[in-house]
Amino acid sequence: MYELIQVSPHDYYVDCPAKIGLCRLNEQDVCLIDSGSDKDAGRKVMKIITENGWRLTAIYNTHSHADHIGGNKYLYEQTGCAIYAPGIEQAFTRHPILEPALLYGGCPPSELRHKFLLAQESPAQPLCEAVLPAGFSLIPLPGHSFDMVGLRTPDDTVYLADCLSSRETLDKYGIGYVHDVGAYLQTLETVKDLRAKLFIPSHAAPTEDITALAQYNIDKTNEIAARILTLCAQPIGFELLLSRLFEGYGLTMTMQQHALVGSAVRSYLTYLKESGRVTAFFESNLLLWQAKA
């Protein structure tokens, strides 16, 4: 864990739960693509950088989830490096309390205020093409998060952030977090057609061909939507729907899982409603969902 793996003349990744990209810009300077889950991750990455005699100049955050920005503060305090995040992800990186608040839908309880959902604040600036090193480009990847991006390097390595998961993860957990299902499916269709020398997803093995894995993620996303649609055959409230999904996928309810999976399920309901497949109505002051005939 936290082994530095070289994949091209200038590109590397740190093998950890959410892979951290490292790109050598010249003999001395390097940049990171994401920073890991917490201060400890930042410390381990800093050790790698120091041992190689490199200097960290910038962190390019693909999105603002805690396992991708958790090392920002430590690395910034150690090096003074620049930190960038795209679109609304910048606000979440500067004010990470927004993440558990979004998931919970209100002021988050203490069970959601931990390093897995609540990173430390860091002074992110807007991430755009103009602030990238020469030869780098951004790839919009919305859906999993508001304005998530991937990065393509001059060596034609593509860092794909969280736009897809491994087969093992999908088969084990059933429902992954997604903010906008429609945008997520469009992103997966785009990714399916991408070509590069190497793709590095944050939560799947590096691969030279991403097509099959992207299609598997598309199929799993559609499968979840279909299962929710089936459960809405009769009018059903959200909590009962969520409970039946947990039972169906063999999941265990906790405050964190209720927030993460619950938020994703709400996004699926929005997707199904906006595409005309379910309707929402109130009965006895309860919000109920029902599939359209």
The domain limits of the chain are 3-159, 232-291
Q: Residue 190 has what pLDDT?
A: 98
pLDDT, residue 208, reads 98
Give the Å distances, CA to CA, from 222 to 23, 228, 271. Answer: 35, 10, 11
pLDDT of residue 293: 85
**3-159 with 232-291: one CATH topology?**
no
Helix (H) or strand (E) holding 32: strand 29-33
What's the rounded Cα separation, in Å, for the pair 175 and 248? 11
Name the 3-class secondary structure at 208: coil
Query: Residue type for 77, please?
Result: E
Is the CB of residue 289 less than 8 Å from the CB of residue 236?
yes
Cβ neighbours of 57 (radius 10 Å) = 17
Count of CB atoms within 10 A of residue 277's CB?
Answer: 16
| Neighbour order of strands in the sheet with 286-291 | 236-237, 286-291, 278-283
Beta-ladder partners of 286: 283
Confidence at residue 1, expressed as pLDDT on a 0 to 100 scale: 87
CATH code 2.60.34.10 for 3-159:
no
Mean pLDDT per 10-residue section of the chain, whose length is 293 residues: 96 97 98 98 98 98 98 98 98 98 98 97 98 98 98 98 97 96 98 98 98 98 98 98 97 97 98 98 98 93
Helix (H) or strand (E) holding 140: strand 137-140
Three-state SS for 16? coil
pTM beyond 0.95: the answer is yes
Q: And the tokens for 223? A: 């499968």
Rounded to an integer, what distance in angstroms lies between the CA atom of residue 209 and that of residue 118?
Answer: 34
Q: From the centroid of its chain, how far is CA 287?
A: 29
* φ, ψ (nearest 5 deg) of residue 43: -65, -40
- What pLDDT, on a 0 to 100 scale, did the predictor assign at position 286? 98
| Domain with residues 232-291, CATH architecture | Orthogonal Bundle (1.10)
In 210-274, which ranges are E strands?
236-237
Report how far residue 277's alpha carbon sits from residue 193's, in angstroms, rounded to the nearest whole number: 28
Count H helices and E strands in the chain, helices first.
10, 14
What pLDDT score was predicted for residue 144? 98
